[in-house]
Structure 1
Amino acid sequence: MPEHEDELSTSKTEGFKVGEKKTIEEYKNLDQNDESLNRWKASLGLNTGEPIGDPNDPRTCIIQSLAIETPGKPDITLDLTGPNALESLKDKPFTIKEGSKFFTKVVFQVHRDVLSGLKYVHVVKRKGITVTKDEEMLGSYAPNTTDKPTYEKRFHEEEAPSGMLARGHYTVRSRFVDDDGHIHLEFTWSFDIAKEWAH
């Protein structure tokens, strides 16, 4: 088993049991007279628009991009869909100014099936030593439709470390995984902490 397998494992909620998987049709027909359930289904978007997505694409969840948002600066966006996009990320670090505050934002699509309990987890390393591990619950989502072609989730605010010891090169292993333990995407990228933003 690869060394990084365990470091990206997600936490388990005590006493939480993953429910029985249902198809979209089963969800739509579930207790049609239950008002609160109908509101929940509507909040998932189960009653609107035409489904989108390539029927020949087996993926349920397609992570399109990961972006770093900093107030007053253009977003730094990692395209995760282009040809060889993932392979080149590690070798193309971007710069974050030390001490700056930023948000990470993900844009993704869900196809064909309800996606239950999507989580994002990453491990940040510097010179091979783990600096931090973070986990974000993105939630559950119905398949995207023409009314809502993508989902966007913004994570909690973070602050880049500062000081001479914090400056340097960092690598990140990221994973998107659901309640069933299905890994939708895993990739490695990198960034540099510097005194100033790159021009």
Structure 2
Amino acid sequence: MAETETQHHDPHHDEDVHDANYQAPPEKTIEELMAADQEDESLRRYKEALLGAAQSEMIIVDPNDQRKVIVKKLALVVDGRDDMELDLSGDISKLKKQLFVIKEGVQYKVRIDFIVQREIVHGLKYVQKTYRMGVPVDKMTHMVGSYPPKKEIQFYLTPAEEAPSGMVSRGTYSVSSVFTDDDKHIHLKWDWTFEIKKDWA
């Protein structure tokens, strides 16, 4: 699994999610981004490709939601099996009761489905901390990237991770997940649970 932590931190503490020494660039609107660096032809073409339709219209998928990033779903992806999904668009306080079963030693990926609306979002980041009986056992940090507004759902798929194996590793794990960005906006944080078993049953 990913890097191991030795001290218990508040999983959603700002300094634990964000690099205290990192200074994000100032937020800019789409208009400001397009106006900058006009003399650089290759950069101008890159920005046009990145922003696409967002240049000519403000894309608003849900007018009742003021967020720039709406996180819709988390899925555990295992080759040869249906994706195991968590719906993040409803009452996320209930997610702890929904238990994922993972076969020990299996390779899996985490997929995050999300919508970006209103403005481009810079440096999306997914941070996942795993605990067993209150003790931190794993931390994953994935740089998701910058995304323009789109009407379609966008997604990020993590590299493959290997579930722990062996009798000692079997049992229930609690996970704290945070979807954030360079500007230190926490778009969503949620807790969920999985169980490592000898088999899928």
Alignment TM class, shorter chain as reference: 0.7 to 0.9
- Deviation of 1:182 (Å): 1.0
| Residue 172 (str. 1) matches residue 179 (str. 2) | no
SS in 2 for 1:170: strand
Find the counterpart in structure 2 of residue 9 from structure 1. Answer: 16
Q: What is the aligned partner in structure 1 of residue 6 from structure 2? A: none
Partner of 1:139: 145
Cα-to-partner distance string for 1:7-63 (whole Å, 9 max, x where unaligned): 88235396x532121111222333344312223213423446862412331101011
Q: In the alignment, residue 76 of structure 1 is paired with which amino acid?
A: M
Instruction: Note the 1:18-97 alignment, pairs <5 A.
Output: 18-47=24-53, 51-82=59-90, 84=91, 86-97=92-103
Most deviating of 108-117 and 29-38: 29-38
Q: SS at 1:183's partner residue? A: coil
| Alpha-carbon distance in structure 1 between the residues aligned to 2:146 and 2:51 | 11
What is the CA distance between 1:141 and its match in structure 2?
0.9
Q: Distance in 2 between matches of 1:36 and 1:64?
A: 34
CA contact (8 A) 1:8 1:121 kept: no
- TM-score norm. by structure 1 comes to 0.87
Q: Is residue 162 of structure 2 the alignment partner of residue 159 of structure 1?
A: yes
RMSD over equivalenced CA pairs, Å: 2.2
The one-letter code matched in structure 2 to 1:60 is K
Q: In structure 2, do the counterparts of structure 1 residues 121 and 71 end up closer, same or farther at CA, with 3 Å as the change threshold?
A: same
SS of the aligned residue for 1:196 comes to coil
Is it true that 1:109 corresponds to 2:115 in the alignment? yes
Q: What secondary structure, in the 3-state scheme, does the structure 2 residue paired with 1:130 have?
A: strand
Q: TM-score, normalised by structure 2?
A: 0.86
- Larger helix percent: 2
Look up the SS of the partner of 1:118 in the other structure. Answer: strand
Q: Residues 165-187 of structure 1, C-alpha deviation per residue, up to 9 Å, x if partnerless?
A: 00000000000111111111000
Gaps of 5+ in 2: 1-8
Letter aligned with residue 169 of structure 1: T
Aligned partner letter, 2:116: V
Query: Structure 1 residues 61, 76: closer, same or farther in 2, change over 3 A?
Result: same
Q: Secondary structure at the match of 2:111?
A: strand
In structure 2, distance between residues paired with 1:189 and 1:44: 33
Distance in 1 (alpha carbons) for counterparts of 2:49 and 2:19: 25
Extract unaligned runs of 5+ from structure 1: none
Matches within 5 A, 1:113-128: 113-128=119-134
8 Å contact 1:120–1:175 — kept in the other structure?
yes
Provide the secondary structure at the position in 1 that maps to 2:187.
Answer: strand
Give, in whole Å, the separation in 1 of the partners of 2:191 and 2:82.
22
Deviates more, 1:100-109 or 1:53-62: 53-62
Partner amino acid for 2:81?
K
